[in-house]
Amino acid sequence: MVQAGEKSARVRRRKAGSNGSSFDNLEIFLLHLPTTIWYLIFCYAPMFGVVIAFKNYRPRPGKSFLWALINNSKWVGFDNFQFLFKSSYFETMMKTTVFYNIVFIILGIVIPVTLAILFNELYSKRLAKTCQTMMFLPHFLSWVVISYFVYAFLATDQGLVNNMARKLGLAVEKNHNWYTDVNFWMYFLVFLNVWKGMGYNMVVYMASISGIDAELYEAALIDGATKSQQVRYITLPLLRPVISIMFIMAVGNIFRSDFGLFYQATRNSGALVSVTQTIDVYVYKALLERSDVNLSSAAAFLQSVVGCLTIVGANLVVKRIDPESGLF
Amino acid sequence: MAKKSTVLQYTRVKPITNVWISILFIFLALLCLMPALLVLIVSFSSEASVRTIGYSYFPREFSAASYIYLARQSNYIGRAFLNSIGVTIVGTFLGLLTTSTMGYALSRPNYRLRKFFTWFIFIPMLFSGGLVASYMINAQILGLKDTYWALILPICCSSFYCIIMRTFFQTTVPDAIIESAKIDGARQIRIFLQIVLPISLPAIATIGLFLTFAYWNDWMMAKYYISGNKHNLFPLQYVLISLEENISFLTRNQDMMTAGTASQVPSETIRMAMVVISVVPIACSYPFFQKYFVSGLTIGAVKG
């Protein structure tokens, strides 16, 4: 025993000696150098690219992007932003993005937490496993695939919904064109989002619940706590750190939207623009369909900067309420 | 849940409540499964059945015509399938390389630049240049437009994966092993490849699966960087996006190839068959890998 103790002490001393080995540091640095380069090119270079938002970008055929940006594009200050704010889309797209995100944040926490708590109460573990696997499926499907699932139900001529309506002789319009129905999509987008994330998000909370010490529940049981009291005084408080991390992440993304949901799942239907034109959809359309670099870069800049401020702000607020729950 | 003691049996909900909860979950599970089932059945319906009664769970007649048709078009669909597989394999490999090396570096307590690089990968999680700047750099400066690299490079690394890797290395690779290897004179690269990676297979598998599914499902990169006429670069997901055009493209091709012979193109069921082709590899494999996803999520939920 004594020998082993001495040995480990020696190892520790030697370890301390190798701490500052600059050779070691260099080797580790070289090991992650490719990743560092990737970050510089694909994450940090675009950060400097945000200057496009303050320029009047004018490409010139035959010249490179950098040349055009530096030599051919004037600094215009906040002109691009002023133009964006004045455009008729601006208000709609801000409202759409923020409104949906608030709904998604609330439902994205309430529903999976509720489901996770209920899920743990299932008697049959085999049933639980099967259901969980099935509920996981939508998470692994791309929005492109889901758009076809939706199409199978909502297509005007062949769609299952219209067919059922026809067969049952419902009073609704016989060939209802769902892809132009704004009122329907307003709710259906929320449903799709919940449907796709339900199984995945449930697992996040279930993992935390199963990590809760069983003795807490035993103690509560001995004290005569009912099931709902156990949930209220043990499960929920112990889930708070995870919930607040998910909350901060979601709030930080409040100006971002799932491009696939709003653009792909709706089949980019022109009639639905008033409920589907989020900032991301706008930026995409402005850049790749209208080649309007100035407006799209202003919108993208706004999204990045405001998004960054909201995530830092949300973290501060959460930390003030509960110092343990911050993300950073 | 196995660790729950017997006392907890008394904390179970009442049997009637259990029945309600079971019904709820069976309902939700079916809600997730039924749309996929509909698409599968439609893809095996005959064209005539779809034309008369529409998409239905109970078609008048089953038929594999759409699959036979797609098999004949293998130079087009097969190419897209191979593109998807190739991009997925190369992307997953590069993704694992970049995330595991960074994760390892950040997990070494003695690494002097650890703090710096922790922030280095954390900042992009908070702030990004946005689509326009990325697009301009990737398409115009790096010249990725209309290359396979455009489908691979922009999404191969992510801070989230790096952090999962780091957390995993921190918790499961004992410091003593690395120190003793160092004392034996092993270089960091050898320690990483021969000691750290082999004992970290669960983490590699988890992140590898995340990457595999992400690449297989990715369509955004193709939408941004692949032009509509570069058919030989299309991954499956992008073929699905431009399906309406592609069905007419296929029909035209067909007419050219089999000029003279009247051929019926099952265009209604074809699209669903292509959806099924792109989903089957995922739907058949994820139940087996589910535990890795769950463990990845659990590690990921630990705060950075």
Strand partners, B45: B62
pLDDT at A101: 95
pLDDT at B304: 40
| Residue B156 token pair | 């191969």
Give the confidence band of A164 by pLDDT, cuts at 50, 70, 90. Answer: confident
Record: contact A52-B3, CB cut-off 8 A: no
Give the confidence band of B43 by pLDDT, cuts at 50, 70, 90. Answer: very high
A274 to chain B nearest CA, in Å?
A: 22
Measure CA A33 to chain center: 29
Q: Which CATH fold topology does A83-325 show?
A: MetI-like fold (1.10.3720)
pLDDT digits (tens, 9 = 90+) for B237-284: 999 988 776 666 666 665 555 543 335 677 778 889 999 999 999 999
Q: Which amino acid is at A193?
A: N
Q: What is the ipTM of this complex?
A: 0.88
CA distance A197 to B73: 35
Minimal Cβ distance to A121: which of B18, B53, B121: B18
| Residue A139 token pair | 């998470």
Chain B: residue nearest A52 by CA? Answer: B133
Record: contact A43-B132, CB cut-off 8 A: no
Largest CA distance in chain A: 88
What percentage of chain B's residues is helix, strand, coil (to nearest 5)? Answer: 75, 0, 25
Q: Which residue has the higher pLDDT, B176 or B254?
A: B176
Is the pLDDT at B9 greater than 80? The verdict is no
Record: contact A49-B133, CB cut-off 8 A: yes
Largest CA distance in chain B: 78
Is the pLDDT at A153 greater than 50? The verdict is yes
pLDDT digits (tens, 9 = 90+) for B90-133: 999 999 999 999 999 999 888 999 999 999 999 998 888 888 99
Give the confidence band of A248 by pLDDT, cuts at 50, 70, 90. Answer: confident
Q: What percentage of chain B carries pLDDT values higher than 90?
A: 47
CA distance A139 to B213: 10
Vertex A32 angle, CA A26 and A37, to 5°:
110
pLDDT at A322: 78
Is the pLDDT at A263 greater than 90? The verdict is yes
Q: Can you give the three-state secondary structure of chain A, one letter per residue?
A: CHHHHHHHHHHHHHHHHHHCCHHHHHHHHHHCHHHHHHHHHHHHHHHHHHHHHHEECCCCCCCCHHHHHHHCCEECCCHHHHHHHHCHHHHHHHHHHHHHHHHHHHHHHHHHHHHHHHHCCCCCHHHHHHHHHHHHHHHHCCHHHHHHHHHHHHCCCCCHHHHHHHHHCCCCCCCCCHHHCHHHHHHHHHHHHHHHHHHHHHHHHHHHHHCCCHHHHHHHHHCCCCHHHHHHHHHHHHHHHHHHHHHHHHHHCCCCCCHHHHHHCCCCCHHHHHHHCCHHHHHHHHHHHCCCHHHHHHHHHHHHHHHHHHHHHHHHHHHHHCHHHCCC
pLDDT at A17: 44
Minimal Cβ distance to A123: which of B18, B129, B141: B18
CA distance B177 to B175: 6
Is the pLDDT at B4 greater than 50? The verdict is no
Looking at residue B46, the DSSP 8-state letter turns out to be -
Is the pLDDT at A10 greater than 80? The verdict is no
Asked whether B281 and B215 are in contact (CB, 8 A), the reply is: no
User: Rounded mean pLDDT of chain A?
Assistant: 86
Inform me whether the C-beta atom of residue B227 falls under 8 Å from chain A C-beta atoms.
no
Inform me whether the C-beta atom of residue B177 falls under 8 Å from chain A C-beta atoms.
no
Mutate to test the interface with B, among A140, A146, A285 (most CBs of B within 10 A): A140
CA distance A237 to A214: 15
Record: contact B153-A38, CB cut-off 8 A: yes
Q: Mapping DSSP to helix (H, G, I), strand (E, B) and coil, where does residue B62 land?
A: strand
Residues A136-154: what's their mean pLDDT? 94
Asked whether B235 and B76 are in contact (CB, 8 A), the reply is: no
Residues A87-109: what's their mean pLDDT? 92
Chain B: residue nearest A36 by CA? Answer: B102
A148 to chain B nearest CA, in Å?
A: 7
Strand partners, B119: none
pLDDT at B257: 52
A133 to chain B nearest CA, in Å?
A: 6
Prediction pTM value: 0.87
pLDDT at A167: 82
Question: How many CB atoms sit inside 10 A of residue A309's CB?
Answer: 14
Minimal Cβ distance to A203: which of B111, B182, B297: B297
Name, of A28-32, A65-69, B129-133, the range with top average pLDDT.
A28-32
pLDDT at B255: 52
Is the pLDDT at A260 greater than 50? The verdict is yes
Is the pLDDT at B294 greater than 60? The verdict is yes
CA distance B241 to B53: 25
Strand partners, B62: B45
Domain spans of chain A? 20-75, 83-325
Mutate to test the interface with B, among A22, A66, A147, A148 (most CBs of B within 10 A): A148
Record: contact B30-A134, CB cut-off 8 A: yes
pLDDT at B223: 92
Range 88-147 of B in CB contact (< 8 A) with A: 97-99, 101-102, 104-105, 108, 110-113, 117, 120-122, 124, 126-138, 140-142
Range name among A220-234, B62-76, B215-229, B256-270 with the lowest pLDDT average = B256-270
Of B235, B65, B79, B71, the C-alpha closest to B152 is B235
Strand partners, B14: none
Contacts of A218 (CB under 8 A, 6+ apart): B5, B7, B8
pLDDT at B142: 93
CA distance A24 to A18: 8
Q: Which amino acid is at B286?
A: Y
Of B85, B83, B72, the C-alpha closest to B250 is B72
Q: Which CATH fold topology does B58-304 show?
A: MetI-like fold (1.10.3720)
Q: In chain A, what residues touch B35 (CB-CB under 8 Å)? A: 149-150, 152-153
